[in-house]
Structure 1
Amino acid sequence: MKRWWPYPLLTAALVAMWLLLTESVALGSILMGGILATVALWGFAALDPPGGRLKRPRAVFALAALVMADIARSNLAVVKIILNPRKTERVSGFLHIPLDMRAPYGLATLACIITATPGTIWVEYNSANNTILLHILDLVDESTWIDTIKGRYEKRLMEIFE
């Protein structure tokens, strides 16, 4: 059974998503969703992803709340920058941030968090010296950004994934 459905819970979730997207629970929709989910997950299994376990699952909810609040706050900050371009001089720029985290799922999650936050984007990860390069729309104080990434996100992600 494992061979046909390497990720049974993920298969069920993909079928459920398919049914929600097609807005139908007809037999044809269920079969098509099952076939698509199975084929997609065979491809995923062929990639041989590294195993991963959450060390502190409850910390995920705290991190999610923090990220949502930061995204909302960043949206407001970007709106202020866009609507008041002459009020203050803004400086955008690139910033290298050294990381302590090496967990691949933690790095991927950090990339998603940074890129989903308006005004910032993950540009590059250098695995040789474990640094990331970010582009920041309003780069006022580099140390504040380093403290934010390392203290707010990296620390919590290391609790979850390492």
Structure 2
Amino acid sequence: MKFQLFPSIPQSITVFIFWVLMAENYSAATLLMGLLLALLMPQLSARLEREFAQIGNAGALIPLAAKLAWDVVVANITVARQVLGPEKELRSAFIWIPLELTNIHGISALTSVITLTPGTVSTELSADRKHLLVHFLDVEDPDAAIAEIKTRYEAPLRRVFP
């Protein structure tokens, strides 16, 4: 990768303008700091791995959103009962979910969906992006929990993020 003083002129300009606007000050020190950030930030971001979202069937998001809304309501009621009930009856567990999603944006959407649903929290993505660690507040059958996440959430997201 060769060095460029300004790998992204639009990003440099944007960083400079936002810095000055946030500082609400036009002193030499503010302008100098804005210039320094405008030089450094594009250099740092150019080194980041970029993976652009490729959207397939965006229409699959509509039934997924409806399903998620329903699941959130049901899970809120279920979690409220579980939390207010005897703690000893809870069977919490960390479970690794094997992923078929490969697009990082799809994986991010899946982790968000899982975390939005009360009673589950996405906690870690394996380095190879092939497994997602999820904490379940109460799980009776780990295989059924994996199958439910894969069919209810991952399958529609695979259609959106091929």
Farther-moved stretch of structure 1 (123-132 vs 111-120):
123-132
The corresponding residue for 2:133 is 133
What is the Cα deviation at residue 85 of structure 1? Answer: 2.0
Give 1 or 2 for the bigger CA radius of gyration: 2
Structural mapping, 1:84-99, within 5 Å: 84-85=85-86, 89-99=89-99
Identical-residue share of aligned pairs (%): 29
Q: Is 1:77 aligned to 2:82, yes or no?
A: no
Query: Which letter maps to 2:77?
Result: L
* Paired position in structure 1 for 2:45: 47
1:124 counterpart SS class: strand
8 Å contact from structure 2 (residues 92, 139) kept in 1? yes
User: What is the letter of the counterpart of residue 47 of structure 1?
Assistant: S
- Which amino acid is 1:51 matched to? F
| Residue ranges of structure 2 left out of the alignment (5+ in a row) | 1-7, 12-17, 23-33
Structure 1: which 5+ residue stretches go unaligned? Answer: 6-31
TM-score where L is the length of structure 1: 0.69
Tell me how far 1:4 sits from its aligned partner: 4.0
Number of aligned residues:
132
Distance 1:117 1:81 in 2: 15
Structure-1 separation of matches of 2:55 and 2:99: 20
1:105 is aligned to 105
Confirm or deny: 8 A CA contact 2:58 2:160 kept in the other structure. Answer: yes
> Which amino acid is 1:108 matched to?
S
- Seen in structure 2, the aligned counterparts of structure 1 residues 159 and 129 have a Cα distance that, compared at 3 Å, is closer
Deviating above 6 A after TM superposition, structure 1's stretches of 4 or more consecutive aligned residues are none
Q: Specify the SS of the correspondent of 1:152.
A: helix
